[in-house]
Structure 1
């Protein structure tokens, strides 16, 4: 498993936890909203690793947007949920190598 796929699973799991009603809100509010900054950094790292490995980036990009907008109560919940699902799906997908790529042995 590549580092980017592992990061997608990790950030996706964190997003799903933050999407749990009341629990996610409690984590965000009692952290002084700093957990959103932490998630922004994790999504940025995941995005860079995904670009380096030529993997899908849509989950990480949405994660960055989610980190910026999650302070809005209902919008934040929806964005955490969608982002978590997208990251988990993209983390579980098989890597598609370009036609000129040599496959790992």
Structure 2
């Protein structure tokens, strides 16, 4: 499995975790938005590996946007949901393609 695919699985899972309404929001707020900075770094690294592996960049770019607007409570929740779906679908498509 390519590094970019593994990173998409990880970042998609983390985005889904932070999309849990009360739990994700509580963790992000209690840590003074530090998880958003960590996710931002992860999305940038994933984007770099996606470019290197010539894979789709959409999920990583959307993740970067999500981390920037994630400080807005309801908008952040919606963006985390959308980003997690995009990343997980992209990772699953790449995994199927690699295993075929």
- Normalised to the residue count of structure 1, the TM-score between the two structures is 0.88
Q: What's the offset of the Cα at 1:89?
A: 0.5
- Name structure 2 gaps, 5 residues minimum: none
Output the CA distance in 1 between the equivalents of 2:15 and 2:55. 20
Q: Does 1:45 align with 2:45?
A: yes
Output the CA distance in 1 between the equivalents of 2:73 and 2:30. 14
Output the CA distance in 1 between the equivalents of 2:42 and 2:91. 15
- Name structure 1 gaps, 5 residues minimum: 98-105
Q: What's the offset of the Cα at 1:93?
A: 1.0
Instruction: From the two aligned structures, give the one with the greater helix fraction.
Output: 2
What is residue 84 of structure 2 aligned with on the other side? 84
Q: What's the offset of the Cα at 1:94?
A: 3.3
Runs of 4+ aligned residues of structure 1 deviating over 6 Å after TM superposition are none
The total of aligned residue pairs comes to 96
- Larger-gyration structure (1/2): 1
